[in-house]
């Protein structure tokens, strides 16, 4: 929730009066609702609710409140408080119905927690039952984890359910049928698919299975209208829309449509990812049009660990036209009536509607996706800190792009006063790096200090060199060129940052690694890739450059990022390039970022392999002439480095998933010991030849 | 594979002759086979195979070779080489059949890798087809990932299949129906359940679904015997055995039994966990008895990341009696004939057959499970290093129990010459700690040196103290008592270890945290919990004590662990206890390990919650008098510390799963932001009261 806004009752009344004078009744509903969303005192709410009730009278039949809330996983009391608040609000303003996102009381995802700590499932049922008691004629649809009877059970122990609460009772239960089990979703680890589509009586709660299906309507009747209720993935399986390529064999919406419901309702918890929102929009529109039935979709908002949910709840009318849409990345209570054209379309965060990975070819035009990227990460940081009880962040400011972007994001998410930037120069650090870091900090208004690591690095290095001498007496294989010195610097800096976090309350150090470098393992364990949170771990380097420009243009304070930071070539400033005598440039150690990021994009979005890439033209090749040998060298380097980076991915701190695909360990799993995969593959003849060789052994 | 054994052909012939003279024909088969398992030259194999072929003549009809192999995930060439070798061996000795574990060519698990890099699936099909070509009248059953046609597809993109290869052709395909999706298993993330039970013709490969089921027998006829073939989980769903509580509604074995097969075959990849083996044994025995049909179960061996597969492939005759069992934790080719009583029962690693968590009450008698624990971890270390290309390990030796046990395990897994122990005393380190560490290293024969961290800690601390002064000018909330100094020490040590790993080829540093301390977050980030591998992360402290005694008794070199190390009270030696003036004892900072480990055990094995534990008697309470207040204090501390340890679990290095349940992130998932769960729960009345309060807001 946003901060409590102090508004005197007189001021409020005046504001309301002004709204009523200036706007139509329909518009006034939304203007007044927006004041309610600011989180008022009880008295103020009452005043406001009275006005809303009056305005809503003509719209009552079929009116729905979409309670787009930001829950905390497993904190049932916290989540219930929000549920109670919005149920009462809906009652006070006389709505027919108030609906909440998937797993409202538990938060989504909760993962294996419910299996190991079944008490929290018991708790969420207890709370549900008590919440039911305060319901009146306004129906509430609330998500929860439903336990199944454990004895003689077939299947998993839980259902993912929503309860229909009315007049003090649990009237009905709808259970999720389609269980997403891919990417960040693991429903089938603990949830049993419902053996039946649609509504079952409330008395089935906690004791329901295949043999206990009651004969009843699939749809729910509420104030003489029929609602076809489903949960999240249940509406994502339309064969026609998905071109006959679907994940499941049944389509709950198709089933529900057989009873000709007046409205579809879908309770969701659907995180934002590049490319997804347009698909979602088109699909919901398609469904409502196909069945000539409005669909009301309520989505969770807020971040839970790596998943950032965008909200943007919405309603499509029976012609597939968007009638209403809630705000993105904000809690909101949105009032709609799908039959009476009551709704308001709040603007979507740019990038949600059309995002770059939708295009078929790789592009460096990241602009369309930058606002979404920004808000997704901001919410990710904010909620991770808030929900784990942290408040402040400390990070190293190298004067380079990664730490710069992290600093901006942290300042915006936590407030500049809660961010401490530390410049930690070594003897390699240029004076520009130091001054750039300082300038950035000043522009952002964050706290800043300089703490040289020279002394520490020297002491450490001295100790280590003598240790190496001893080790050398027993072990061969000492590298003539190693990254030891580079890593000592990165690790010394991490010791400083973790030190501050140990010494000052509620403070987390930040890992500044970006996606391109994580793919290449170009990040130091216990160094720059270590921290309590990794804000840009799912943003490739070329996109970070675009984001830097965007931030300079779109933040309230313009040009906070010094131009010099954006212009300089990225490099870790950990070692001197013997060829130039200057700090090593990352692209020289790796390959051009533009080329690297296109490899990543091709693998993640098109699942291309080595020869696919070798034989097609990269964007980089259109702009730069490179030999085939050069391309082969880069591709070989990519796969070699990626294979040995798998371990680093497995110990990466929590980070927000941003792209359509990521290497976040809760999104993508690859055994570390699979590092010997032959990504080039072999021809049939070569295989046969090898087999013949093997058979001779 | 074990090292190539140099045996001259004359020696071999003599050995064989001696065996034939001394043993019965049946026994000779196994004695000679054991020589083959040592991995001989081609010529030697030929000699040996000739003898085996002669001995096996009377047993030919229905003879089966169980190729219990250790694959590398995704390394199809490596795995295929083993497959070719054993197929040829089976042919050379005239077996009817040779069978391999689940997903033979790919290795299990492969996880999302096949989704992102579909080329390796194409590759495994290519290899399968070429391998088919070398088959003769000996049938081979080989596991692989089967792609489905992508267009107009319902469901996931792959099947988990086995192919029946014979006379140069793929004769049949059997697809897995039941998909484990819990704990370390994630089959349903990428695998579609088979729409049919049992065999389908080979021509269906790669183009099969519900609409394309061919009419044919479920069972496979091979040399006039009928085989009912299934894959792993497919045989784990007998309603009767599991007391009517099963995970899936269909039972493939029950279906297959309808055709009265002569033998069941099950191709598995089933990792070892406490308690599991006895269950598996009983279940397989139950099935064979119930259907009066022998069952042949072939299991994968070796470790893939966190999962350690024990092998122990086996055969039960039609009366449910164990007829044959392969070795545990070793590659082996085991010849059996279920109808002719041909089989040998190799001894099971102690702990596999009966393990401590099977008992209903918590116990400190870990002895029955220690050999299994030891071998599981040894294999985990060995295979992680080998499969990722590492060879040597460096670890800090504190003179404490955790690092001691790690050192022993590493010495045994990698060879003492490949282990470097570094004693890194600070000013708190006692002289006993130093001498204990040294003595241990000498006893183990590992490399050892001392590298004081005093200087580094001082330099770091000086830098940090002045940094803190600056931070303090901007931020409040500086702790009066912090863990900063403790952590600087732990992190300095990690810098030394990672430094050695950076400087010397093929060397990984080791994280020494144990399970009890990880539960309590009693481990330093970037310090002792950092490393390339964490050998004892799933072993609680009280079990480590038992393991120490066991190692001293059962290793070749007795009493390698100095008595003093086992006798001293665990403590990190990072801080001085102001009360005693001596280094802080861990149990004083936490709670008695015996009590702590019982909490963990109760949560993991019995899913107990706070009040369950408060209201029942702990083993510790039977031996020590404690007040209820004390117990409450410990329980509160446990949940508080566990909640804030969730982040640490998420960045824990790879480690072997040993217990029946663990906190390994690939086995157990809990959102970090769920740290505010109320593990005590609330009474209904309290809930109602709170709701009433909320409604007044």
Containing B423, the helix (H) or strand (E) segment is strand B419-423
Contacts of A249 in chain B (CB under 8 A): 154-155, 210
b/e code B69-83 from CB counts within 10 Å (16+ = b): bbbbbbbbbebbbbb
Looking up tokens 């009772």, which residue turns up?
A169
Q: Is-contact A192 A177, C-beta < 8 A? A: no
> Which DSSP symbol is given to B384?
H
Phi, psi (5° rounding) for residue B38?
A: -75, -5
The DSSP line for B263-314 is: EEEEEE--B--TTHHHHHHHHHHHHHHHTT--EEEEE-EEEETTEEEEB--E
* Res B7: pLDDT: 79
- Is the pLDDT at A2 greater than 60? The verdict is no
pLDDT number for residue A327? 97
* In the predicted structure, residue A293 carries a pLDDT above the cut 80: yes
Identify the pLDDT of residue A5: 53
Residue B42, in any domain of the structure: no
Do A530 and A662 lie in one domain? The reply is yes
Same domain, A68 and A181: yes
A606 touches chain B (CB under 8 A): no
Distance, CA of A356 to CA of A366 (rounded, Å) = 6
A51 and A65 co-located in one domain: no
Alpha helices for A75-159 (secondary structure H): 76-92, 113-116, 119-133
CB within 8 Å: B526 and A495: yes
**Integer Rg of chain B from CA:** 28
Alpha helices (H) in A37-100, listed in sequence order: 42-56, 76-92
Cα–Cα nearest to B199, from B216, B178, B181: B216
Strands (E), A468-618: 507-509
Sign of torsion over alpha carbons B272, B274, B280, B282: positive
* Co-location of A52 and A64 in the same domain: no
Q: The tokens 């299990």 sit on which residue?
A: B108
Q: Please indicate whether residue B358 is annotated as part of the active site.
A: no
Q: What is the pLDDT of residue A580?
A: 87
Asked if the Cβ–Cβ distance from B475 to A392 is below 8 Å, we say yes
Residue where a domain terminates, one of A312, A330, A356:
A356
Q: Give A87 or B278, the one with higher predicted confidence.
A: A87
CATH of the domain at B169: 3.60.110.10
pLDDT value at residue A430: 87
Q: Over 80: is that where the pLDDT of A1 sits?
A: no
Q: Best interface-test mutation with B: which of A469, A495, A534, A609 has the largest number of B CBs within 10 A?
A: A495
Cα of B254 vs its chain's centroid, Å: 30
Q: How many angstroms separate the CA of residue B577 from the nearest CA in chain A?
A: 19
Burial of B675-690, coded b for 16+ CB within 10 Å and e otherwise, reads bbbbbebbeeeebbeb
Annotation says B176 is catalytic: yes
Nearest to A314 by CA among A101, A158, A160: A101
Under 8 Å CB-to-CB from A21, ≥6 apart: which residues? none
CB count in 10 Å sphere of residue A337: 26
* Domain count within chain B: 2
Question: So what's the pLDDT on residue B578?
Answer: 85
Closest-CA residue to B611 (of B625, B590, B632, B626) = B632
Kindly report the nearest CA distance between residue A301 and chain B, in angstroms: 15
Q: Which of B528, B677, B686, B693 to mutate to test the interface with A (most CBs of A within 10 A)?
A: B677
Q: B526 in a domain, yes or no?
A: yes
Place of tokens 């890739």: A529
Residue with tokens 């539960």: B519
Report the distance separating Cα B450 and Cα A689, nearest Å.
Answer: 53
**Exposure class string for A321-331: b at 16+ Cβ within 10 A, else e:** ebbbbbbbbbb
Answer yes or no: do A676 and B42 touch at CB < 8 A: no
Q: Give the separation between CA A282 and CA A234, rounded to whole angstroms.
A: 16
Do B402 and B304 sit in the same domain of this protein? no
Q: Residue B608 CA to chain centroid, in angstroms?
A: 25
How far is it, in rounded angstroms, from Cα A21 to Cα A546? 45
Dist. CA A387–CA A391, nearest whole Å: 10
Helices A593-606 and A628-650 pack at an angle, to 10 degrees, of 70
Q: Which residues of chain B are modeled with pLDDT < 50? A: 1-4
The answer, yes or no, to whether the previous bond of A462 is cis (omega within 30 of 0) is no
Find out whether B166 and B181 touch, Cβ atoms under 8 Å: no
Cβ of A254 under 8 Å from any chain B Cβ? no
Say yes or no: A223 contacts chain B, CB-CB below 8 A: no
Q: Mind giving me the DSSP string for B66-95?
A: EEE----TT-HHHHHHHHHHHHHHHHHTT-
Cα A78 from Cα A124, distance rounded (Å): 11
Q: Which residue of B has its CA nearest to A383?
A: B673
User: What is the reported pLDDT for B5?
Assistant: 53
Domain assignment present for residue A656? The answer is yes
Residues A179 and A253 in one domain: yes
Last residue of a domain, one of A356, A372, A400: A356
| Partner residue facing A130 (CB), from B479, B681, B684 | B684
Among A356, A378, A407, residue at a domain's last position = A356
Question: In chain A, which residues have their Cβ closer than 8 Å to the Cβ of B669?
Answer: 111-113, 186, 189, 666
Q: Does the CB of A459 have a partner CB in chain B at under 8 Å? A: yes
What is the DSSP track for A499-565? HHHHHBTTEEEB----HHHHHTT-S-TTTTT-SSB-TTTTS-HHHHHHHHHHHHHHSSSTT-S-HHH
Residue B212 and residue B92 share a domain: yes
Residue A202 lies in a domain: yes
Flag whether pLDDT at A4 surpasses 60. no
User: What is the Cα–Cα distance from B245 to B256, expressed in whole angstroms?
Assistant: 21
Q: What's the CATH number where A658 sits?
A: 3.40.50.620
Residue with the two structure tokens 């770091």: B460
To the nearest whole percent, how much of chain B has pLDDT over 70? 98
Residues B158 and B245 in one domain: yes
DSSP string, B23-55: S-HHHHHHHHHHHHTTT--HHHHHHHHHHHHHH
Q: Residues A12, A50: contact at Cβ < 8 Å?
A: no
Rg (alpha carbons) of chain A, rounded to whole number: 28
| Three-state SS at B447 | strand
Number of neighbours of residue B194 by Cβ within 10 angstroms? 26
Size of interface A-B (CB pairs under 8 A): 447
Question: Do A508 and A534 fall within a single domain?
Answer: yes
**Tokens matching residue B327:** 């070795």
Of A148, A45, A134, the C-alpha closest to B687 is A134
Cβ neighbours, 10 Å, residue B579 = 8
Please check whether residue B451 touches A, CB under 8 A: yes
Section A15-28 average pLDDT: 96
Is B46 touching A (CB cutoff 8 A)?
A: no
pTM reported for the whole predicted model: 0.96
- Residue where the block lists tokens 């020289």: A588
Contacts 24+ apart (CB under 8 A), A321-325: A321/A285, A322/A281, A322/A285, A323/A294
- B315 and B401 share a domain? no
DSSP state of A510: B
| A266, A397, B176 from A498: Cα distances, Å | 44, 14, 48
B24 CB contacts (<8 Å, ≥6 apart)? none
Averaged over A7-28, what is the pLDDT?
94
pLDDT in the model for residue A596: 98
Please tell me whether residues A424 and A523 are part of one structural domain: yes
CA distances from B10 to A4, B15, B17, B27, B354 (A): 91, 9, 11, 22, 43
Does the pLDDT value for residue A220 go beyond 90? yes
Residue B354 confidence (pLDDT): 62
Q: Let me know if residue B464 belongs to a domain.
A: yes
Pair of tokens at residue A493: 């800096």
Q: How many CB atoms lie within 10 A of CB B697?
A: 11
* Pairing of the two strands A419-423 and A507-509: unpaired
Query: Does residue B277 belong to any structural domain of this protein?
Result: yes
B241 and B287 Cβ atoms separated by less than 8 Å: yes
Q: Does B609 touch chain A (CB under 8 A)?
A: yes
pLDDT of residue B359: 57
**CA-based nearest residue to B565, from B690, B401, B391, B455:** B401
Question: Domain containing B532: what range?
Answer: 390-471+483-674
A456-499 residue pLDDT tens: 999 999 999 999 999 999 999 999 988 898 999 999 999 999 99
Q: Tell whether A64 and A54 lie within a shared domain.
A: no
Answer yes or no: do A456 and B459 touch at CB < 8 A: yes
Task: Give ∠ CA B176-B180-B183 in degrees, rounded to 5.
Answer: 155
Catalytic residue among B49, B51, B82, B102: B102
Neighbour tally for B655: CB within 10 Å:
29
Structure tokens at B504: 């010397």
Of A247, A503, A677, the CB nearest to B75: A677
For residue A13, the tally of other CB atoms under 10 A from its CB is 15
Phi then psi for residue B222, to 5 deg, are -135, 115
Round to whole Å and give the CA distance between A114 and A187: 12
**Residue B378 in domain:** no
Measured CA to CA, the distance from residue A67 to residue A70 in angstroms comes to: 10
B653 burial level (CB within 10 Å; 0-12, 13-18, 19+): buried
A77 is catalytic: no
Residue A6 CB neighbours (<10 A): 9
Distance of alpha carbon A531 from alpha carbon A305, whole angstroms:
14
Is residue B527, in this structure, part of any structural domain at all? yes
């Amino acid at each position: 929730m946003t901060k409590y806004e102090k508004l005197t009752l007189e001021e409020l009344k005046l504001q309301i009066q002004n709204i009523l004078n200036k706007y139509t009744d329909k518009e006034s509903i939304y203007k007044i609702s927006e004041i309610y969303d600011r989180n008022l005192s009880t008295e103020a709410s009452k005043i406001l609710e009275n006005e809303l009730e009056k305005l809503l009278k003509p719209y009552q039949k079929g009116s729905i409140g979409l309670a787009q809330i930001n829950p905390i996983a497993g904190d049932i009391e916290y989540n219930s408080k929000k549920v109670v608040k919005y149920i009462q609000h809906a009652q006070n303003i006389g709505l027919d119905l108030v609906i909440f996102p998937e797993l409202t009381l538990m938060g989504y995802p909760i993962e294996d927690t419910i299996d190991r700590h079944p008490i929290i499932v018991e708790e969420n049922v207890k709370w549900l039952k008590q919440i039911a008691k305060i319901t009146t004629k306004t129906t509430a649809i609330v998500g929860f984890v439903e336990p199944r009877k454990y004895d003689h059970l077939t299947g998993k122990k839980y259902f993912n359910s929503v309860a229909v609460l009315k007049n003090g009772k649990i009237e009905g239960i709808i259970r999720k049928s389609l269980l997403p089990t891919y990417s960040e979703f693991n429903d089938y680890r603990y949830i049993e698919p419902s053996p039946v589509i649609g509504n079952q009586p409330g008395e089935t709660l906690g004791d329901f299975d295949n043999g206990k299906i009651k004969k009843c309507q699939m749809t729910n009747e509420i104030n003489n209208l029929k609602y076809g209720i489903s949960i999240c993935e249940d509406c994502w399986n339309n064969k026609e829309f998905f071109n006959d390529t679907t994940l499941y064999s049944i389509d709950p919406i198709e089933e529900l449509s057989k009873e000709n419901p007046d409205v579809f309702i879908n309770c969701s918890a659907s995180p934002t990812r590049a490319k997804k929102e347009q698909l979602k929009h088109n699909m919901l529109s398609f469904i409502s049009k196909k069945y000539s039935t409005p669909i009301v979709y309520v989505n969770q908002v807020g971040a839970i660990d790596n998943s950032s949910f965008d909200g943007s709840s919405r309603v499509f009318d029976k012609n597939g036209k968007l009638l209403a849409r809630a705000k993105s990345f904000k809690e909101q209570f949105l009032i709609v009536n799908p039959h009476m054209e009551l709704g308001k379309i709040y603007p979507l965060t740019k990038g949600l509607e059309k995002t770059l990975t939708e295009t078929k070819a790789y592009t460096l035009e990241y602009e369309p996706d930058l606002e979404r990227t920004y808000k997704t990460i901001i919410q990710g940081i904010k909620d991770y800190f808030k929900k784990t009880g942290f408040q402040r962040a400390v990070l190293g400011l190298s004067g380079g792009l990664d730490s710069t972007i992290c600093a901006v994001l942290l300042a915006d998410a936590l407030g500049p006063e809660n961010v401490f930037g530390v410049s930690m120069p070594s003897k390699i650090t240029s004076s520009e790096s130091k001054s750039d870091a300082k300038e950035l900090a000043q522009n952002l208004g964050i706290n800043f200090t300089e703490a040289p690591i020279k002394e520490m690095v020297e002491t450490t290095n001295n100790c280590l060199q003598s240790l190496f001498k001893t080790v050398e007496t027993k072990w061969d294989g000492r590298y003539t060129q190693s990254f030891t010195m580079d890593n000592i610097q990165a690790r010394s800096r991490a010791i400083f940052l973790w030190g501050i976090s140990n010494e000052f309350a509620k403070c987390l150090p930040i890992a500044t690694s970006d996606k391109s470098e994580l793919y290449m393992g170009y990040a130091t364990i216990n160094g720059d890739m270590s921290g309590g949170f990794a804000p840009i771990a799912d943003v490739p380097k070329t996109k970070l450059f675009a984001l830097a420009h965007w931030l300079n243009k779109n933040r309230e304070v313009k040009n906070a990022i010094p131009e010099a930071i954006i212009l300089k070539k990225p490099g870790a400033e950990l070692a001197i390039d013997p060829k130039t005598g200057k700090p090593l440039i990352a692209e020289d150690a790796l390959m051009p970022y533009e080329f690297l990021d296109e490899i990543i994009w091709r693998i993640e979005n098109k699942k291309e392999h080595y020869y696919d890439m070798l034989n097609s033209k990269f964007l980089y090749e259109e702009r730069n002439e490179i030999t085939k040998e050069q391309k082969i060298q880069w591709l070989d380097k990519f796969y070699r480095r990626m294979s040995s980076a798998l371990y680093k991915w497995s110990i990466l701190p929590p980070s927000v998933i941003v792209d359509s695909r990521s290497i976040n360990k809760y999104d993508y799993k690859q055994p570390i010991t699979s590092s010997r995969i032959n990504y080039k593959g072999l021809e049939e003849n070569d295989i046969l030849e090898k087999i013949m060789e093997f058979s001779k052994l």
